[in-house]
Amino acid sequence: MTGLRFINWLKVLDDHIQIKCRRIIFFIDNCPAHSKDIELKNITLVFLPPNATSKLQPMDQGIIKVLKQGYRTRLIHRYVQ
């Protein structure tokens, strides 16, 4: 992910959220691609502290593993059909 792609994605998502009249909070890790000076209307960015342990970072707690397992299961079912 590049910083420019991240900013563009957030702006598109912000417009989409604004159309639905909602407000959301994103918890983001301290990746160099994640710019902190983005002005958004309906999205609030909250950055995790640097060097946060895996207990604070949900992606390290098995979310990626579960996502991959679900993808593989659906892929196998598609091939069987």
What's the whole-model pTM score?
Answer: 0.60
Please determine, for residue 80, whether its predicted confidence score (pLDDT) is greater than 60: yes
Q: Which has more pLDDT, 61 or 77? A: 77
Q: What local confidence, expressed as pLDDT, does residue 63 receive? A: 79
Q: What local confidence, expressed as pLDDT, does residue 32 receive? A: 76
Question: Mean pLDDT across the stretch 6-35?
Answer: 89
Give per-residue pLDDT as tens, 28-73: 877 777 888 889 999 999 888 877 656 666 666 677 888 899 999 9
Instruction: Measure the CA–CA gap between 23 and 13, rounded to whole angstroms.
Output: 11
Q: Give 17-69 as a DSSP string.
A: HHHTT--EEEEE---TTS-S----SSEEEEEPPTT--TTT-GGGGTHHHHHHH
